[in-house]
Chain A
Amino acid sequence: MNAEAPVAALEVEGLCKSFRAVRALDHVDLTLRYGEVTALLGDNGAGKSTFVKCVAGVYAPDAGMMRVDGVATSITTPDSARALGIETVHQTLAVIDTLNVAENLFLNREHTRGGPIGALLGVLDKKRMRSETEHILGRLGIRIPSLRHPMGALSGGQRQAVAIGRATAWGRQIVLLDEPAAALGVEQAARVLELILNLREGGAAVLLITHNMDRVSEVCDRAVVLRQGRKTAEVAVGDVTKDDLVAYITGAKTQQILP
């Protein structure tokens, strides 16, 4: 695709994951490149969310290997994925309704104060987290009535915006988005797409799970199709029609996967 063949952000090879007798992922290969948005498509139960959870360290894959920036790594926990620069917005958003926006944004990467003893005890630096939250939300153009509101008091779109903000605010390079614009109003969905395009412009490698073919043609460079846990197609979005993509998803059409 690129003549200079720069090192891939994330390379996944032969990823397998079974739940008892069900093969959720069957030797799936996928590559994410910097400055590119890759769509991950497939019907319900095709294995899309399972794939994201394996790369995000939520599930431990049964087999397969991953390289980040060309270096072989193993991702065993959400922390190790984050340490490698992989951020995820899960389908469920993984926001805590009873905590406020700043607390959600910094959950499990809290700033502490009081030196080494404070760090050991985990004494929160709330002031710093609040001001950084304001900064982050402002930069992303996310408007929240008050940072002290519990997450549960916000609208669906605001919650989604915070979840996406949490994944994209850290200058991270690899971002996995599991249906980030599902259940959003038109304006909010457009806002999310804008965020994704900003990420690409900033050079990030983005994986986008969606069921919306319009969104694929609007923001994605490549599309990978999963069907019953297997990769059945990988195409440049510009080379195919929406109908082609739907045909791949439903299995009406399959593609010889090139190595």
Chain B
Amino acid sequence: MTESAIKRVLQRWQLAAPRQYVVYAAAILIFGLFAVVLRDDGFVTASNLLNIGRQAAPIAVMAVGMAFALGAAEIDLSIGSVAALSSLVVADAVGSFGFAAGVAITLAIGMGIGAVNGVIAVKVRIPSFLVTLGTLGIVSGVARNLNNLQSLPIRNDTYLNVFGAGSLGPISSLLIWTVIVGVVGHLALHQLRWGRHVLAVGADRSAAGALGIKTDRVRITALIASAAAASLAGMLLAGRLAIGRHDLGENLLLTVIAAVVIGGTNLFGGRASVAGAIAGSIVMAMLNNGLILMGLRVADQLIARGVIIILAVALSMREQKET
């Protein structure tokens, strides 16, 4: 390697290193820490690691969708409620219309909510933060009314195999879904015109508009993507527990936002990372799992998680500002 080539590589690494790799360093660090601290509580056992993976899957799926919403300088606060509603809808629809139609209907309803979010945010010019806060309430209410706070059992074997406890060979179907969503998201972000336009609109909407990018369409589709991912996550949660319930995934919003931001996506648009979002989801799932193994009560877990999230996001945002 010539001297200038070495310099180039170093420059590139310096440029990319901080924000892109902080999440992977964090994942390794936290894993190492828990492996030592919780060595007698079974953190590093096959069954516990599998458990972490199962917890991370729905977070990761939602996080990939959220990366697009945040990348476009929007935010979708309704994802938890969309996941919960989707779990109920799919439980009902798969029972009534069969596997394929049930899944399709559920996904369509999820994407419909995303479209409503997007169209109101763009056309009525209300910040997506407020629009999705509104739909969060509406969708949660609808989910609660749907089956009177009762859970709906799912008895469709195909569904439970594809979305829940099933596996392809030794690989759990939850993991497969996570990989599929991750690959599709990564390709959409980096290899498709749409992905570049999402970031352009998120970085500078008026500049993107001046170049003829249809910013309205880009913002609406980004919110549809996030709702679609939330809907899929709801179906995964339903598959894992074999029920639909009004509160499945409802409390994941903050966890998902933290996972995405730790993963290197800018909270204010223009920069997004799908791989980082997935790594961030694993970090959050490990934290969740570790806190439980430490024997913290639910109340203390909430407090600890809140503190950790604020710290983690603050750290990764400082990195982002510096570059």
A interface with B by C-beta (< 8 Å): 53, 56-58, 77-79, 82, 88, 90, 92-99, 103, 107-108, 110, 112, 121-124, 126, 145-146, 148-150, 153
B-chain residues with CB within 8 Å of residue A92 when the two chains form the complex: 206-207, 210
Q: Is the CB of B12 within 8 A of A148?
A: yes
Mark each residue of chain B from 166 to 192: 1 if its CB lies under 8 Å from any CB of chain A, else 0. Answer: 000000000000000000000000011
Mark each residue of chain B from 205 to 225: 1 if its CB lies under 8 Å from any CB of chain A, else 0. Answer: 011111111000000000000
Please name 20 pairs of A and B residues whose Cβ atoms are closer than 8 Å in the assembled complex, sorted by A. A53-B210, A78-B209, A88-B210, A96-B199, A96-B207, A96-B270, A97-B203, A98-B199, A98-B270, A99-B196, A99-B203, A103-B196, A107-B197, A123-B193, A124-B193, A124-B196, A126-B191, A146-B11, A146-B12, A153-B15
Expressed in whole angstroms, the Cα–Cα distance for A58 and B213 within the complex equals 11
A-chain residues with CB within 8 Å of residue B200 when the two chains form the complex: 96, 99, 107
Expressed in whole angstroms, the Cα–Cα distance for A96 and B12 within the complex equals 19
A-chain residues with CB within 8 Å of residue B199 when the two chains form the complex: 96, 98-99
Task: Report which of A53, A95, A98, A126 forms a contact with B271, defined as CB distance below 8 A.
Answer: A98
Q: Is the CB of A122 within 8 A of B194?
A: yes
Q: Is the CB of A108 within 8 A of B206?
A: no
Q: Is the CB of B270 within 8 A of A108?
A: no
Residue of B nearest to A79 (CB): B212
A-chain residues with CB within 8 Å of residue B41 when the two chains form the complex: none
Per CB-CB distance, the 10 closest pairs between chain A and chain B, nearest first, are A122-B193, A78-B212, A94-B207, A79-B212, A98-B270, A94-B210, A96-B200, A96-B203, A98-B203, A98-B271
Pick the most buried of A58, A97, A122: most chain B CB atoms within 10 A of its CB. A122
Expressed in whole angstroms, the Cα–Cα distance for A58 and B200 within the complex equals 17
Q: Is the CB of B15 within 8 A of A110?
A: no
Residue of A nearest to B8 (CB): A146
A88 to chain B: closest CB distance in Å? 8
Residue of B nearest to A110 (CB): B193
Residue of B nearest to A90 (CB): B210
Expressed in whole angstroms, the Cα–Cα distance for A78 and B207 within the complex equals 11
Pick the most buried of B202, B210, B211, B266: most chain A CB atoms within 10 A of its CB. B211
B-chain residues with CB within 8 Å of residue A96 when the two chains form the complex: 199-200, 203-204, 207-208, 270
Residue of B nearest to A113 (CB): B191
B-chain residues with CB within 8 Å of residue A149 when the two chains form the complex: 15
Q: Is the CB of A78 within 8 A of B193?
A: no
Q: Is the CB of B196 within 8 A of A110?
A: yes
Q: Is the CB of B196 within 8 A of A78?
A: no
B interface with A by C-beta (< 8 Å): 8, 11-12, 15, 191-194, 196-197, 199-200, 202-204, 206-213, 266, 270-271
Task: Report which of A97, A107, A148 forms a contact with B211, defined as CB distance below 8 A.
Answer: A107
Q: Is the CB of A58 within 8 A of B208?
A: no
Task: Report which of B12, B193, B211, B213 forms a contact with A112, defined as CB distance below 8 A.
Answer: B193
B-chain residues with CB within 8 Å of residue A126 when the two chains form the complex: 191
B-chain residues with CB within 8 Å of residue A56 when the two chains form the complex: 210
Residue of B nearest to A121 (CB): B192
Q: A82-B212, A107-B200, A110-B196 are in contact. List 13 more A-B contacts (CB 8 A).
A: A79-B212, A90-B207, A93-B207, A94-B207, A94-B211, A95-B207, A96-B203, A96-B208, A97-B204, A97-B270, A103-B196, A107-B211, A108-B213
Expressed in whole angstroms, the Cα–Cα distance for A122 and B192 within the complex equals 5
Expressed in whole angstroms, the Cα–Cα distance for A146 and B7 within the complex equals 12
A-chain residues with CB within 8 Å of residue B209 when the two chains form the complex: 58, 78
B212 to chain A: closest CB distance in Å? 4
A-chain residues with CB within 8 Å of residue B211 when the two chains form the complex: 78, 94, 107-108
Expressed in whole angstroms, the Cα–Cα distance for A97 and B266 within the complex equals 13
B-chain residues with CB within 8 Å of residue A107 when the two chains form the complex: 196-197, 200, 208, 211, 213
A161 to chain B: closest CB distance in Å? 17
Q: Is the CB of A77 within 8 A of B196?
A: no
A-chain residues with CB within 8 Å of residue B210 when the two chains form the complex: 53, 56, 58, 78, 88, 90, 92, 94
Task: Report which of B11, B192, B212 forms a contact with A124, defined as CB distance below 8 A.
Answer: B192
Expressed in whole angstroms, the Cα–Cα distance for A175 and B207 within the complex equals 18
B-chain residues with CB within 8 Å of residue A88 when the two chains form the complex: 210
A56 to chain B: closest CB distance in Å? 7
B73 to chain A: closest CB distance in Å? 11
B21 to chain A: closest CB distance in Å? 16
Expressed in whole angstroms, the Cα–Cα distance for A92 and B211 within the complex equals 12
B-chain residues with CB within 8 Å of residue A95 when the two chains form the complex: 207
B-chain residues with CB within 8 Å of residue A98 when the two chains form the complex: 199, 202-203, 266, 270-271
A96 to chain B: closest CB distance in Å? 5
B-chain residues with CB within 8 Å of residue A124 when the two chains form the complex: 191-193, 196
Expressed in whole angstroms, the Cα–Cα distance for A110 and B213 within the complex equals 11
Known: A96-B200, A98-B199, A103-B196. Contact between A77 and B207, CB under 8 A?
no
A64 to chain B: closest CB distance in Å? 20
Q: Is the CB of A123 within 8 A of B204?
A: no
A-chain residues with CB within 8 Å of residue B196 when the two chains form the complex: 99, 103, 107, 110, 124
A-chain residues with CB within 8 Å of residue B213 when the two chains form the complex: 107-108
A111 to chain B: closest CB distance in Å? 10
Task: Report which of B11, B197, B271 forms a contact with A108, defined as CB distance below 8 A.
Answer: B197
A124 to chain B: closest CB distance in Å? 6
